[in-house]
Chains A and B, each alone.
Chain A
Amino acid sequence: MDVQQLEKLALLSRLALTDDDRRDLLPALNAIVQWADGLHQAPTEGIAPMAHPHDLSLRLREDQAAALPPRDQLMANAPQSAQGLFVVPRVVE
């Protein structure tokens, strides 16, 4: 992994990077990735990936609308809100 790739990952995950970050993160990430390369040693031919540790199938919820707590309560932690809306810097399409 090089700095360019790191910058791309930082963009995808919306994390600002300082120069210190770039210096410290790159070797650590490379070490982890190199380690992960060891996974290819395993005999995984014909083995299906295991996304869940048990064999459940999805249970379905009956389609009924439920009452909600008051909006003020649910928006109480908002860093900025006005007129019942969450406020963010202008979204440009």
Chain B
Amino acid sequence: MDLRFSTLSELRTALDAGMVSAQELAQDYLDALEADRLGVALALDPDRTQEQARAAQRRIDTEPAEGRSPLVGLPILHKDVIVTEGWPTTAGSKILQNYRSPFDAELVARLAGQGMVCLGKSNCDEFAMGSANLHSAYGVCRNPWDPTRIPGGSSGGSAAAVAAGLAPAATGTDTGGSIRQPAAMCGITGIKPSYGRISRWGLVAYASSLDQAGPMARSAADCAWLLTAMAGHDPKDSTSLDLPQEDFGRLLTEPVTPAASPSQPLKGLRLGLPGQYFGPGLSESVRGAVEAALSVLRGLGAECLEVDLPRTELSIPAYYVIAPAEASSNLSRFDGVRYGHRSAHAQDLQALYRNSRAEGFGPEVRRRILVGTFVLSHGYYDAYYLQAQKVRRLIAQDFQAAFAQCDLIVGPVSPSLAWPIEASQRINDPLADYLADIYTLSASLAGLPGLSMPCGFGQPHSGGPDLPVGLQLIGPQFDEARLLGVAHRFQQATDWHRRCPPAPGSAGLSFTSEQVVASPSKGAH
């Protein structure tokens, strides 16, 4: 019985029914990860995973199901910019090769506390800087739908793993789109919550005012379970919100709108479509799938109207000033003194710094550190950094104005389908990569929640298999429950999220995973 393409809710049923044990389940995924050729995992420790699985199975056997966390015994992969005590953390960088954190990230501790079983660490762009997972120091990661193409980034390993049935769920981080975009390119569901929702304690910092961790899984319902467990105030993170505990899955069962009916569950929902997200830069293959998805949403009762986000294009330079600036400072601690790579060419202190850092950091990271140092330096601070922060406020105000007219903003995640790995490696044009972030950066700058869910496929120009397309939902601050509720209704009316890529070495046919295990209450999950 192959459970590897099941959702977390389906696995829950299987575990509770005794159809499979936590150890067997973990082993299935571990075996698949060992055999993986997509470059998804950076660290595996089967003994440690099985130790957690054994403990989880004990809980399943002894604790009454009532009141037990729904996550007990469910496996998960953690992105390698999230520190774990039991597995090394590299952040995709040579500078942290073999680094062992003496503590777990807060989100790791919370998920482990709820009985989740860690499968290992997933591949990512170095220090989360990238949109293609081409900047990992430990090798590229490949898209399971077409291994000659990128999975997206920076949470490429997490997205590819979930899409390829190598893990039922994974954590990612999103600073400018790094959960949403790989989720879209790999055909899975992912959500970047409002800034401050999930504690950043234990996230290797990239851009402190933008970084947010989030769940990546096979359904909105699964994401809701994970978000509920991960979110909540952490006094160790001064930027973490102190709001009442929330069940982010409540709108999966409760009505999303006051006028909702069984056939029209989104009746009265106003969806804003920014003209700027549907301009000439959007490829036809993506546009087709997105517009089909909008039809589905209208069919469910939602209405679409155009909204204006005038600073969409400016979000790119604003982000690529602010993020590198914060990163340049956050990465200064990697100096070869207390941990991490120390150069052999360390004849004096300055040489130790210069060489350890130049040897340990890849080209994209070095580029961003230099840009960041530049925009913060004397004489340029006002013109660049401060100016970018002002544009940031304008962008936030644009969203506020748009949300006066609509409930959620909807659009594409990426202007194009996943592009070929080899082409990217040939052409060294960092700016081209930056432009691809155009639809995701603004929500990060404004700190708003953004969700990506699979909404169809597109045919790439250069031939090859059809590739997934993601639909983005952006909500006002703290509106994650509604994003998930809307996504869930879409997933009840479609089956894009059930599609699976061809098995490696198969005839190249993708398939739809059957619901192997019937869930008890179909409405909920």
Whether the complex brings A and B within 8 Å at their CB atoms is answered yes
Q: A residues touching B (Cβ–Cβ < 8 Å)?
A: 1, 5-6, 9-10, 12-18, 21, 24-25, 28-29, 31-33, 35-36, 38-44, 47-54, 56, 58-59, 61, 69, 73-80, 86, 88-91
Q: Are B340 and A77 in contact (CB under 8 A)?
A: yes
B23 at the interface (CB under 8 A from A): no
CB contact under 8 A between A13 and B369, given known A39-B321, A80-B342, A91-B349:
yes
Q: Are B337 and A88 in contact (CB under 8 A)?
A: yes
Residues in B neighbouring A31, C-beta threshold 8 A: 431
Give the contacting residue for B338; candidates A21, A35, A86; CB below 8 A.
A86
- Give chain B interface residues in 344-373, CB to chain A under 8 Å: 346-355, 357-358, 361, 363, 366-367, 369-371, 373
Q: How far is it, in angstroms, between the C-alpha of A16 and the C-alpha of B347 when the chains are bound?
A: 14
Q: Are A59 and B340 in contact (CB under 8 A)?
A: no
Least CB distance from A77 to B in Å reads 4
Q: Are B367 and A29 in contact (CB under 8 A)?
A: yes
Least CB distance from A10 to B in Å reads 7
Q: How far is it, in angstroms, between the C-alpha of A41 and the C-alpha of B392 when the chains are bound?
A: 13
Least CB distance from A84 to B in Å reads 13
CB contact under 8 A between A50 and B387, given known A38-B317, A61-B235, A77-B99:
no
Give the contacting residue for B384; candidates A12, A15, A29, A36; CB below 8 A.
A36
Name A92's closest neighbour in chain B (CB-CB).
Answer: B349
Q: How far is it, in angstroms, between the C-alpha of A25 and the C-alpha of B374 when the chains are bound?
A: 13
B515 at the interface (CB under 8 A from A): no
> Would you give 26 A-B contacts (Cβ < 8 Å), ordered by A?
A12-B377, A15-B354, A15-B370, A16-B358, A24-B363, A24-B428, A25-B370, A28-B431, A29-B367, A33-B371, A39-B314, A40-B383, A42-B311, A44-B390, A50-B389, A50-B393, A52-B447, A53-B396, A53-B445, A54-B194, A59-B238, A59-B242, A74-B102, A75-B338, A79-B336, A79-B339
Q: Are A88 and B366 in contact (CB under 8 A)?
A: no
Q: Are A49 and B239 in contact (CB under 8 A)?
A: no
- Give chain B interface residues in 378-399, CB to chain A under 8 Å: 383-384, 386-394, 396
B213 at the interface (CB under 8 A from A): no
Contacts A9-B374, A15-B366, A58-B238 supplied; 11 other A-B pairs, CB < 8 Å: A14-B335, A28-B430, A38-B317, A39-B384, A39-B391, A42-B394, A44-B391, A49-B393, A54-B194, A89-B349, A91-B349
- Give chain B interface residues in 316-350, CB to chain A under 8 Å: 316-318, 320-321, 328, 332, 335-342, 346-350
- Give chain B interface residues in 46-64, CB to chain A under 8 Å: none
Provide the main secondary structure of the chain A interface.
Answer: loop
Residue of A1, A38, A50, A88 with most chain B CB atoms under a 10 A cut-off: A50
Give the contacting residue for B373; candidates A9, A44, A52, A73; CB below 8 A.
A9
Q: How far is it, in angstroms, between the C-alpha of A86 and the C-alpha of B342 when the chains are bound?
A: 12
Q: B residues touching A (Cβ–Cβ < 8 Å)?
A: 99-100, 102, 194-196, 209-210, 235, 238-239, 241-242, 311, 314, 316-318, 320-321, 328, 332, 335-342, 346-355, 357-358, 361, 363, 366-367, 369-371, 373-375, 377, 383-384, 386-394, 396, 428, 430-431, 445-448, 477
Q: Are B389 and A49 in contact (CB under 8 A)?
A: yes
CB contact under 8 A between A53 and B446, given known A1-B374, A12-B377, A79-B339:
yes
Q: Are A32 and B347 in contact (CB under 8 A)?
A: no
Give the contacting residue for B354; candidates A16, A32, A39, A90; CB below 8 A.
A16
CB contact under 8 A between A13 and B349, given known A36-B384, A51-B209:
no
